[in-house]
Structure 1
Amino acid sequence: MRKIYNIGFIAGMFAFTANVFFVIAQILQLLGLLSYPYDEISIYGFSLCIVIPFLLEILALHYVTPKQKKFWSHAALIFTVIYAIFVTANYVVQLATVIPFTLQGRADQIEVLVQYPHSLFWNFDAIGYITMGIASLFVLPLFKKQGFDKWVRAAFLANVLVTPLIAFVYFYPYFSEKILLLGIPWIITAPLMMLLLALRFRKQKIKHIGNQQRMKQSK
């Protein structure tokens, strides 16, 4: 069990860190301080770095969840896997195909793969973020409404509440930067929930070690 707590903590911290770098890259792009191709390489690259750590963080959460609540953690894990599949497909295609072809002046050959509003991979991205939000919804019953758990729960709940805004941004028929700004809360809620869940693993590990030591002393 201690190893799972460690994995959950480390994976969560990696996911949080990658998310922070993604947010920084996104802000620099919006401010015009990061130009092509470095903006897209940074954004897609750091986004890709979130995927596996976050998936492992939720997997660890499933394994440390009491049996009577495993339905909820299993559901969260399923939707996290869906998130991982769709966004990984998008980010890998953008990094390994679209950007290189564009730099070679061959963008017309892979136009269908380019992510732009309402394109194929735009929708892949949308499904990814929406399913992350659904996963956030399913983990809510796992956390108590007191102690440190209430803060973890609040962070995930905040991400759930942001998800309809994300869906609106992606699927509103007419894209604009003003519409895009509606998704800004996500840059707070997503890294925050990853960080707090990671810290929860650390607290649980410390508690687990303490319980083991008390059991040894009582023998």
Structure 2
Amino acid sequence: MNKTVHKVGFWSGLIAFFSTVAFVIVQMLQLFGVLSYPLDEILIYGFSLCIVIPFLLEMLALHYIAPTEKKFWSHAALIFTVLYVAFVSANYVVQLATVIPMTLQGASDEILILSQTPHSLFWDFDAIGYIFMGFATLFAVPIFEKQGFQRWVRYSFLIHSLVTPLIVFVYFYPYFSETLLLIGMPWAITAPLSMLLLAIMFKKDFEVST
């Protein structure tokens, strides 16, 4: 069972990492005007949705391999991950399955409340989702040792959690601009890095145990 957990953690983390990198690339292409509607939003929400379940499984695997005395922290991290999943999944599915198709049909006025625009309902859903992701990584920090490879995973999770105030600022600053998004750019490094390092940790631990 433990080997299976390590394998699931590794592959899920790898998928989450590549999905996050793809999301970041598409987001940058949108900002630079290379991609336009609807392809930009389809790819952004699509790749974002691809992060959700793999990241959840990666954190679930972490909970299962955490030492008993650290289960409180892994359980807390898992709870915040589930909250992240709930909020962002609702947003991405609504945007992909309802907002974009209805907009292409010329019926955007009928679903304005569902559109993710600055300070809208689903904008807030997205914001709280990524805030919960930050909390998940913060509460996971004590799980990792301060030595060996786990030290680097620990640092990556800590640094990623410290980016959360920037996410709060970007989402909730009263006046939105594309320039404001650049303030949140550290997330584009810390999020995939933490996912990748945790995945590598699963692989290393699995190789040691075999």
After TM superposition, is the score higher than 0.5?
Answer: yes
Residue type at the aligned position of 1:46: F
The equivalent of 1:195 in structure 2 is: 196
Query: Within the alignment, does 1:139 sit opposite 2:140 as a pair?
Result: yes
List 4+ stretches of structure 1 deviating above 6 A: none
Provide the rounded CA distance (Å) in 2 between the counterparts of 1:49 and 1:178: 26
Matches within 5 A, 1:105-124: 105-124=106-125
Contact 2:16 2:54 in 1 (8 A): yes
Matches within 5 A, 1:138-217: 138-209=139-210
Runs of at least 5 residues in structure 2 that lack an aligned partner in the other structure: none
Provide the rounded CA distance (Å) in 1 between the counterparts of 2:87 and 2:209: 36
Helix, strand or coil: the match of 1:117?
Answer: coil
Helix, strand or coil: the match of 1:45?
Answer: helix
Matches within 5 A, 1:1-219: 1-209=2-210
Q: Which of 1 and 2 has greater Rg?
A: 1
Q: Deviations over 1:192-217 (max 9, x none)?
A: 000000000001101111xxxxxxxx
Provide the rounded CA distance (Å) in 2 between the counterparts of 1:185 and 1:105: 36
Contact 2:20 2:48 in 1 (8 A): yes
The equivalent of 1:215 in structure 2 is: none
Q: Deviations over 1:130-155 (max 9, x none)?
A: 00000010010011111111111111
Provide the rounded CA distance (Å) in 2 between the counterparts of 1:169 and 1:44: 18
CA RMSD of the aligned region, Å?
0.6
Helix, strand or coil: the match of 2:163?
Answer: helix
Helix, strand or coil: the match of 2:15?
Answer: helix
Contact 2:56 2:82 in 1 (8 A): yes
Provide the rounded CA distance (Å) in 2 between the counterparts of 1:185 and 1:100: 32
Give the Å deviation of 1:128: 0.4
Runs of at least 5 residues in structure 1 that lack an aligned partner in the other structure: 210-219
Give the Å deviation of 1:178: 2.1
Contact 2:52 2:85 in 1 (8 A): yes
Provide the rounded CA distance (Å) in 2 between the counterparts of 1:196 and 1:120: 33
Q: Deviations over 1:79-136 (max 9, x none)?
A: 0000000000000000000000000000000000000110000000000000000001
